[in-house]
Amino acid sequence: MDVNYIQQLINSDKNRKLRNFMLYDFYQNDTEAIKSYQLQYMLGSTIDSVQEWIYVNNKPQLLADTAGGVGLFSAKTAEMMPKYHRDVTNKTLNNICTCYHTGIDRYLVNEDGSPNEEQTTLLNDIYQQANVNLWQKEWYKQAKLFNIVEVKAVWRQKTNKLEFDIWTPNFFTVVENEESYLYKDGIVFDIVKTIDDEEKDVKEVWTDDEHYLLVLKSSRRVGDKEIDIYERADDSGINPYGVIPSQELRFRIGQDYYGLGMFDLVEDNIWHDVRSNNRFFVEMFQGLGFMYGVNVGKSGSIPIQPFSIFTIEESPANKGTSKIESVSPQAPLSDLLESEKANVEQILMMKGLSSQAATTSNQNATGISKALDQDELEMQKQEDQLILMDFEQKLFEKVRTVYNYHADTKLDEKCKFVCNFNKKKTALSTTDMIQKWRFEINDIGVKTPIDYLTEDNPSMTVEEAQKTIDEIKAKRIADGDLVLQGDGKGNIRNSTPAPTN
- The verdict on residue 4 lying in a domain is no
Which residue, of 272, 305, 327, is where some domain finishes?
Answer: 327
Q: Is residue 107 part of a domain?
A: no
Decide if 437 is inside a domain. yes
DSSP character at residue 358 = G
Residue 484 belongs to what domain range?
430-497
Domain boundary among 312, 327, 342: 327
The DSSP H or E segment spanning 172 is: strand 172-176
Point out the domain boundary residue: 277, 312, 327.
327
Query: Is residue 493, in this structure, part of any structural domain at all?
Result: yes
pLDDT in tens, 272-306: 888 888 877 777 666 555 566 666 655 555 555 54
User: pLDDT tens across 37-76, in order?
Assistant: 888 888 876 555 555 555 544 433 444 344 444 577 777 7
The count of domains in the chain is 2
> Who's near 455: CB < 8 A, 6+ residues apart?
none
Flag whether 294 is in a domain: yes
Helix axes 132-146, 117-129, angle to 10 degrees: 70
- Look at residue 455 in the predicted model and tell me its pLDDT: 78
Residue 320 CA to residue 298 CA, distance in Å, equals 15
pLDDT of residue 308: 47
Do the domain assignments include residue 55? no
Question: Helix, strand, coil proportions of the chain in percent (round to 5)?
Answer: 45, 20, 35
Q: How far apart are the C-alpha atoms of 139 and 388, rounded to whole Å?
A: 10
What is the pLDDT, as a whole number, of residue 242?
Answer: 96
**pTM for the full model?**
0.71
Residue 28: name the closest of 124, 151, 156, 170 by CA. Answer: 170
Structural domain includes residue 19: no
**Position 38 in a domain:** no
Beta-carbon contacts of 205 under 8 Å, excluding residues fewer than 6 positions away, are 1, 6, 186, 187, 188, 211, 212, 213, 214
Q: Which residues of the chain have pLDDT under 70?
A: 45-70, 235, 284-376, 425-429, 481-501
Q: Where are the beta strands (DSSP E) in 208-310?
A: 211-222, 225-232, 246-250, 290-294
16 in helix, strand or coil? helix
